[in-house]
């Protein structure tokens, strides 16, 4: 472990080639912000992330915030838009070997605005953990493509596939597009999806053999769309 150049009360270390860690104390010195990087370590970027986290300690460490974000983060050559922090339990960096350190460590990483829902849209610790673990790639400091926040509910009368949980499930875009395509020829089926802003749309296959799109859980009024137009709308809605 060595002091991190350019930032006080901050350190970096690398247990194996290609895996790098860095951490800095929060503004009050009571918590730790940690950045992990796998094959993408950029010390200037890491210092910028940790400095921004420290400057926004109150916001990122607020009680009850599972995945906190601060907008306006920029770094030359990267398209990132926010700095994000996952509280203990959402991340599990030190859970097994150093549980005391785990309790005071927040995982810090850069991201895109469309990847994070408002705090009340994460229905549980497990919900936020799923988003962090499966979609956000916090250790990839070079990623260029966002993984938009996406919650879906669906039921298909032909494939018999569907969601059981009232709160829906978090999925990748490919799952949404697949289920929309599978609506063809399946009257009585639907796909409902929610973006990072909490906006909800519902897609169905109607008796006139067309896809219909409406807003909200009950899509009234709705309009008919071709598949290409519908998929384009869905893609845009996840980023807008």
The string of pLDDT tens digits covering residues 32-76 is: 999 999 999 999 999 999 999 999 999 999 998 999 999 999 999
- Tell whether 96 and 167 lie within a shared domain: no
- Tell whether 62 and 118 lie within a shared domain: yes
Contacts 24+ apart (CB under 8 A), 69-73: 69/111, 69/113, 69/116, 71/113, 73/48, 73/49, 73/110
For residue 188, what are the domain limits? Answer: 151-239
Q: Answer whether residue 213 shows pLDDT above 60.
A: yes
Q: What is the pLDDT of residue 220?
A: 47
pLDDT category, 224, cuts 50, 70, 90?
confident
Domain count, the chain: 2
- Tell whether 67 and 9 lie within a shared domain: yes
- Tell whether 109 and 175 lie within a shared domain: no
Alpha helices in 104-226 (DSSP H): 125-134, 173-181
Read off the pLDDT of each residue in 154-172 and give the average, rounded to a whole number: 94
- Residue 53's CB is within 10 A of a number of other CB atoms, namely 29
- Tell whether 58 and 104 lie within a shared domain: yes
Task: Please state the pTM of the whole predicted model.
Answer: 0.91
Containing 67, the helix (H) or strand (E) segment is strand 67-71
Enumerate residues 6+ apart whose C-beta is below 8 A from 80: 73, 74, 110, 111, 112
CB 152, CB 193: distance < 8 Å? yes
- Tell whether 43 and 128 lie within a shared domain: yes
Q: Which of 101, 134, 167 is the last residue of a domain?
A: 134
- Tell whether 200 and 126 lie within a shared domain: no
Q: What is the pLDDT of residue 193?
A: 95
């Amino acid at each position: 472990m060595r002091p991190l150049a350019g930032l006080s009360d901050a350190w970096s270390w690398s247990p194996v080639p290609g895996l790098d860690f860095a951490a800095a104390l929060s503004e009050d010195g009571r918590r730790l912000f940690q950045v992990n990087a796998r094959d993408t370590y950029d010390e200037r970027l890491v210092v910028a992330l940790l400095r921004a986290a420290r400057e926004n300690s109150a916001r990122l460490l607020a009680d009850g915030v599972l995945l906190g974000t601060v907008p306006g983060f920029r770094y030359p050559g990267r398209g990132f838009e926010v700095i994000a922090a996952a509280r203990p339990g959402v991340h599990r960096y030190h859970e097994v070997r150093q549980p005391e350190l785990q309790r005071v460590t927040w995982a810090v990483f850069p991201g895109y605005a469309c990847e994070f829902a408002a705090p009340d849209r994460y229905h549980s610790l497990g919900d936020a953990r799923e988003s962090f673990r499966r979609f956000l790639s916090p250790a990839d400091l070079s990623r260029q493509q966002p993984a938009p926040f996406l919650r879906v509910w669906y039921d298909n009368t032909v494939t018999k596939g569907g969601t059981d949980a009232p709160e829906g499930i978090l999925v990748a875009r490919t799952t949404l597009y697949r289920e929309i395509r599978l609506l063809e020829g399946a009257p009585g089926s639907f796909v409902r999806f929610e973006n990072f802003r909490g906006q909800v749309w519902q897609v169905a296959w109607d008796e006139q053999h067309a896809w219909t799109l409406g807003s909200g859980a009950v899509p009234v009024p709705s309009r008919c769309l071709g598949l290409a137009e519908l998929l384009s709308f869905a893609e845009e809605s996840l980023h807008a």
